[in-house]
Chain A
């Protein structure tokens, strides 16, 4: 069945460092891909999405490109801030009703 694998955390970076969180997926067909973010004590927020191959989703300085050839959707940000500290979830929606989530990556940014 469909699945999402993302890098295990926690990831700790200094402010202004470059961020990459790896995400790969397995799916039949052509799923849509998402990154959701969960800030401490809050619910899930949609960060960005891409619906077809080579699409780039972007929001708040974060970017991810839908790579069909490598079945990947890595999250990147050029310069992280303390306020980016959160748990990040890669997810896919393949046509069924549910969204399939990765296990989440906890990101901590040191000032």
Chain B
């Protein structure tokens, strides 16, 4: 158990809908990262927040957004969902803000299926 929690574990929705994925980092960790794991794209970094502020962006679509709240939990919002958004979404956390070589600890993921 990494100490990172994600809810829900599974999510089934329809195209065009909007969903929110939630992540609670390990106690004491200030950074939260979101990753998408799909069959065709592999594991891709989406976005990072550090202590409430956006710190880095990766291959995140404009239909997707995230935020980190004062209690440090984070939410990833996915809107206007398409079939291709079906994937496993991971949250990870670390103590600092992407310090060189810092270890990230991953949650169990949320499996999203868009029908």
Contacts and interface: CB of A to CB of B under 8 A. Distances in A.
B61 to A, nearest CB: 16
B52 interface: no
Contacts, number: 60
B64 interface: no
Interface residues of A, number: 23
Interface residues of B, number: 25
Interface string B90-102: 1010000110111
A73 interface: no
Contacts of A104: 42-43
Nearest to A100: B45
Interface in A69-111: 89, 93-101, 103-104
A40 interface: no
A70 B42 CA distance: 25
The 10 A-B pairs with the shortest beta carbon distances in the complex, nearest first, are A32-B101, A97-B98, A98-B45, A97-B56, A43-B108, A44-B106, A101-B43, A97-B48, A95-B100, A43-B109
